Every structure is written in C-alpha cells, then in structure tokens.
Chain A
Amino acid sequence: MNVHTRTLLTVICEAALENKLVADLQRLGAPGWTLSDARGRGSRGVRSAEWNTEGNIRLEVICARELAERIALHLQERYYANYAMVCYLAQVEVLRAEKFQ
C-alpha cells in the first residue's frame, strides 16, 4: 500500500468561533476540514455544551506540515488570549496525497 505522511491539525474551541475559524481556514488555504460538536473539561472549567455559550467544536484539518503550522500560529496569535481553545498537531498517513496539500 502506498501511503503518504501528512499533518493532522485538531482544534477544540468555543462554538462561538465557528464562523470566524471557517473564514480563517478558507483564507489560509486549507484543503478541507471536518467539524464536530464536543464536550469536556479544561483550564476554563467544564464546557458541558448544555447551554449555547458553553458549546464547543472540534475542527480537524489534514494538510501539509507547513500549512498546519501556519494555521496553528495564526490561531495562537488571534484567539488564545481570550477564548477557550486548544490545538495540536499529529502525523497521520493518508492514501491520496494530492487531497491534503
């Protein structure tokens, strides 16, 4: 099997940011992304998603390492100070390299 290494960027943050993040990803040239609802607990307390301002999303992007770092840096500069947000990078193997540039 012919596999290629790409970077998976996962962002977990307040649902309030969804529209802004999607606009950012489009502008920075992400090849695609997956959004899902999330619940959990972090340094900003329980984020139970029971109330609309407590809603959380998980955003996943698979792309080239360089782009993933650029997006992560942008998020850190723009949102870390005032919003509940974590993001992390991981190496993943994909079958169709051209889909995840």
Chain B
Amino acid sequence: MGFDPVVMFFVFGLLAGLLRSELKLPPALYETLSIVLLLANGLHGGVELAEQASPALLGQSALVLLLGLTLPLLAFALLRSLRFDRVNAAAMAAHYGSVSAGTFAVVVAYLGARQVFFESYMPLFVAILEIPAILVGIVLAKGVSRDTQWKELGREIFLGKSIMLLLGGLIIGLLAGKDAIKPLEPFYTSMFKPVLALFLLEMGLIASSQLGTLKRYGVRLAIFALLMPLLGALIGALLARLMGLSLGGTAMLATLAASASYIAVPAAMRLAVPEANPSLSLTASLGITFPFNILVGIPLYLSLAETLIAMGL
C-alpha cells in the first residue's frame, strides 16, 4: 500500500518549514483544528463506551494512573544520567510522562485505516495520563515546597483545554448514545481525517521551526528524545498485555506512553517551574519525538504489540 496521505501532510509541512517557505496557517485555525480533534476523539470514545462499559475499567484506570506516575520518574533518571541539571531534567520528565493528544489522533487514524480493533475507552486513558506527570515533575524540580501555588496550578492542570474537551466529548457521547449522536457522527468519521491532515500540516511547520534550535542543545537531547519514546512504548505495551487489552489497545497504550506533551505541560511548567528552559523541552518533544512517533514510532509500536502477543504475553 502507498504512503499514508495524512502522514504525508506532516512531511509536507516539515519540508515547507525547512525550506523557509512563506506558508503559514493562522494560529486561530490551529486552535480550531485541535479543538475539533479532541472533541471528536472524546465523542467517539463516549459513544462506544456506552455500548461496552465494564467494571474492569476501574482497575485498568488505576494501572494507567500508575503508568503516568512511573514514566516521569524513569525519564528523570535517564535525563540525570545524561547530565542534565535537576530543574531542566524535572521539567522535561513532566513532558515525557504526559501524553500528546495529537499523536493519539494519528494512532486512532492509523489503526482505523488498517481496521485494527481497539478499546473504545482510550480517550479516558489519555485524560488520565495527562495530569500525574505534571505533579511529579513539579515535585522533582522543587520538592514539596510551600511557595508552589497549588490552587492556581491545579486549575491550570485539571481544567486545561485538552482534558476538558476530551472528557466533555466523552460524557456527551456516553449520555447521547449511538442513535442520538448520528447527526454529529461526521466529527469522527468523514470529517476526522481532513481535519487531522490540516492539523499535521501545521504540526510539520511547527516541528521544523523547533529543529532549528536543536543544534544549540546537541546530541544529548536527541539521544533522550529518541530513547525515551522507545522505552516508554515498551513499558506501555507490557502494561497493556498485563491489563489484557486487544492488539489495537496495546499498540495505542504503547504510543501514548511513547508520546510527549507539547501543549498542556509547557504551559503548566512555565508557571510552576519558571527556572527551567522551556525551549529545551519543546525542542525535544515537538522537534524530535513527535515526528519520530508519527513517521516511525506508530508502525513500530503496532509490530511490537503483534510480537508480544505472538510470544504469548
């Protein structure tokens, strides 16, 4: 089969950016596209959840929460061993422990195109994975310090845009059910891929602008930004096998564990840990890890899931 056109839009954006093209999407459009994607994923998850809710979900959610606490600790240890200072290591660990909703949208499209089944409640896991890493990151950077303004920060973290949209969509989908949602179905059927294509075009442009700063930070950053997603994917996939998820679900949890945040976490870290250099984390997560996951990672994580299942795990 040919190249996935959605991924080609990303490569197109990347190239246009590297060639210093005049091409630019208005910031408001990017904002709109990401809102539609998050809402679509939430709605879809909610509708399907209404059909196949199970009590096992509670235990699985707890395990995913645990994953969200473990990943940043692992990233922190890896960064410290690469001789990053404590504050920057903590801020970057928060980015890599959290998830990227954009990467999630791509893996949804990827598995959908191959008709690989995955559990419907995955958007719930995205929402669960977003938060704990931020808290772990702050504690790693500062200890439990009294001058951290937890109330203000809590609002920023728990009422952040992506969590609100995912959970809002999920609940609307859950309450409405399959029949009532029919008129809105294009959100996650016919409309989803065109929106994702435009979103990835913009992500390509943004990623290329981050690549420019990569030279400044050198090899250590690149090593981390490539090693951490692989490590995360392995842990995510093993956990998914433990939870008894399907093939698609395993590939998806691996992808989520491999992805790094570039929206919610940078905003929270800027306020909570202002001493950390924000462009270090953004260069790694947007400039390296996001393109890696889109171009190489997702197919790799699917075959990892296949291998683990074939091994009887």
Contacts and interface: CB of A to CB of B under 8 A. Distances in A.
A26 interface: no
Interface stretch (B42-50, B137-145, B190-198, B266-274): B266-274
B77 interface: no
B282 interface: yes
A82 interface: yes
Interface string B146-174: 00000010000000000000000000000
A52 B274 CA distance: 16
Interface residues of B, number: 14
A53 B267 contact: yes
Q: Max chain A CB contacts within 10 Å: which of B263, B274, B282?
A: B274
A82 to B, nearest CB: 4
Contacts of B20: none
B80 interface: no
A42 to B, nearest CB: 14
Interface in A19-49: 19-20, 49
Interface string A1-34: 0000000000000101001100000000000000
A59 to B, nearest CB: 17
Contacts of A98: none
A16 to B, nearest CB: 4
How many A residues are at the interface, by size bracket? 10 to 19
Given A16-B271, A82-B274, A83-B274, A50 B206 contact: yes
Interface string A57-101: 000000000000000000000000011000000000000000000
A52 B263 contact: yes
Interface string B199-213: 000000010010000
Contacts of B209: 50-51
B55 interface: no
A83 to B, nearest CB: 6
A13 B273 CA distance: 17
A70 to B, nearest CB: 22
B262 to A, nearest CB: 9
Interface in B232-268: 263, 266-267
25 contacts: A14-B270, A16-B267, A16-B270, A16-B271, A19-B152, A20-B271, A49-B27, A50-B24, A50-B27, A50-B206, A50-B209, A51-B206, A51-B209, A51-B282, A52-B263, A52-B266, A52-B267, A53-B266, A53-B267, A53-B270, A53-B278, A53-B282, A82-B274, A82-B275, A83-B274
Interface of A: 14, 16, 19-20, 49-53, 82-83
Interface of B: 24, 27, 152, 206, 209, 263, 266-267, 270-271, 274-275, 278, 282
Given A16-B270, A51-B282, A52-B267, 6 more contacts: A14-B270, A16-B271, A19-B152, A50-B24, A53-B270, A83-B274
